[in-house]
Copies of this chain bind each other. A is one copy, B any other.
Amino acid sequence: MKKIKMGIIGVGRLGYEHACNIANRVPASELIAVTDKDNEKAKRVADELGAKFYATPEELCADPEVQAVAIVTNTDSHVDMIEIAMNAGKHVFCEKPLAETVEKCKRGEKIVEAHPELIFQLGFHRRFDYSYAVAKEKLDRGDIGDVVLVRCYSQDPIAIIEGTLEYAPRSGGQFIDMSIHDIDLIRWITGSEPKKLWAIGGCYEFKQYKDWDDGDNVSCLIQNENETMAFFYAGRAAAHGSAVETEIVGTRGTLRISAVPTDSLLEVMSEHGVCRECYQDFVTRWHDAYVKEMEYFCDCVSTGTKAHPDVYDGTKATNIAFICKESFLENKLVDVVYK
């Protein structure tokens, strides 16, 4: 049993989660190298998790011991990091979204294509959540017949609204930052691509989103090439918590994931009635999925199997998110044409 020796580039909130998982929760991996543009933080994390510190991604990737790299930097540096890592011969796990423009995504594709011997995986972690995995299995087994409609909700909790607002201007906007997960789910579940879509929304409470050409709440109706329908909604400030709900309506049944986004098996009976408390925090919500996707990545590396979601999933989702934004800004129905 040889563990895959991994390095990590970027140990912000989610990067630190991945670092801990690679070090302590994923049986097949060990963390041996850490870097972050905040060198002090990188040193602390390296120290805490028993890994080497490197001042730059280039140095980390030059370490011949490192077999694979997890990239958890800002979106706009993803493709550069992929390039550095793959050119150094490392397998790559890269957080979503692939890049902040479709052009950059295309460049990412080229880099990945240039290294067919290396594993590349994009971090659309929801596919690895247990509830989603079970749903997909039931769907593939025919339990609910054919897909008719996919409905996706993604809401951040009001509890973290200050951080949300602070990050918003450089997030790429609701479609690129948040809904891209739902766009990936819709592609994954329907096995099809959008044909036409119409996205709408507005600034219902936080008027500042207008300045960023964005809305605090947006939604989109999609007609897929295989005629399945999809609807997604994304909000910035749900009172009840970090709520991601997905529903698959089939011709013979319906699957609903996280209709009550409860964080435990606890029901509280109080003057508010019978209540279930919800996740307040996306890292807690998806903790197991983050572990599972990394286990899968290590498995792909060990066995030399092509990983999914792949680089093209990254480009497609980004492309669709941009078309959503175009539809939203111009308030028109758009025919989806991939660049």
Q: Residues on A close to B: CB < 8 A?
A: 1, 20, 23-27, 47-50, 130-131, 134-135, 138, 143-146, 148-149, 151, 158, 196, 198, 200-202, 204-205, 217, 219-221, 223, 227, 229, 231, 233, 235, 237-241, 243, 249, 251-278, 331-333
Which residues on the B side are within 8 Å of A272 (C-beta)? 240, 270, 272, 275, 277
Task: Please judge, given known A-B contacts A145-B205, A202-B227, A272-B275, whether A259 and B259 are in contact too, CB under 8 Å.
Answer: yes
B131 touches A266 (CB 8 A): yes
Q: How far is the CB of A137 from chain B (nearest CB, A)?
A: 10
Closest to A252 in B: B239
Q: Give A149 to B25 CA distance when docked, in angstroms.
A: 38
In the complex, A276 Cα to B219 Cα: how many Å? 27
Question: Which 7 pairs, one residue from A and one from B, show the smallest C-beta to C-beta distance?
Answer: A221-B221, A24-B27, A254-B269, A333-B333, A131-B264, A240-B269, A273-B277
Whether A241 contacts B333 by the Cβ 8 Å rule is no
Show 7 A/B contacts (Cβ-Cβ < 8 Å), sorted by A.
A24-B26, A25-B27, A144-B239, A238-B269, A240-B270, A255-B269, A270-B272
A25 to B25, CA, bound (A): 4
Considering the chains assembled together, what is the distance between the CA atoms of A27 and B254 in angstroms? 39
Contacts of A202 in B (CB 8 A): 227, 229
A131-B276 Cα distance, complex, nearest whole Å: 11
State the main secondary structure of chain A at its contact with B: mixed
Q: Are B134 and A264 in contact (CB under 8 A)?
A: yes
Contact at B148–A217, with CB atoms within 8 Å? yes
Is A204 touching B258 in the complex (CB atoms < 8 A)?
A: no
Chain B contacts for A258, CB-based, 8 A? 265
Identify 7 new A-B residue pairs, CB closer than 8 A, beyond the known A23-B27, A239-B271.
A25-B25, A145-B205, A201-B229, A239-B254, A255-B266, A257-B265, A275-B276
* Chain B residues closer than 8 Å to A50, beta-carbon distance: 1
Known A-B contacts A20-B27, A148-B217, A204-B146; A198 and B233 likewise in contact (beta carbons under 8 Å): no
Closest residue on chain B to residue A287 by CB atoms: B288
Smallest CB separation, A225 vs chain B (Å) = 12
CA of A265 to CA of B259, assembled, Å: 8
Report the separation of the CA atoms of residues A261 and B265 in the bound assembly, to the nearest whole angstrom. 7
Please tell me if the beta carbons of B134 and A266 are within 8 angstroms of each other in the complex. yes
Q: How far is the CA of A200 from the CA of B240 in the complex (A)?
A: 31
User: How far is B249's CA from A205's CA once the two chains are assembled, in angstroms?
Assistant: 13
A145 partner residues in chain B, CB cutoff 8 A: 205
**In contact, A256 and B264 (Cβ under 8 angstroms):** no
With the chains together, A205 CA to B253 CA distance in Å? Answer: 13
Q: Which chain B residues lie closer than 8 Å to A148 at the CB level?
A: 204, 217, 235
The distance in angstroms between the C-alpha atoms of A231 and B219, with both chains bound, is 9
Kindly list chain B residues whose C-beta atoms are within 8 Å of the C-beta of A158: 252, 271
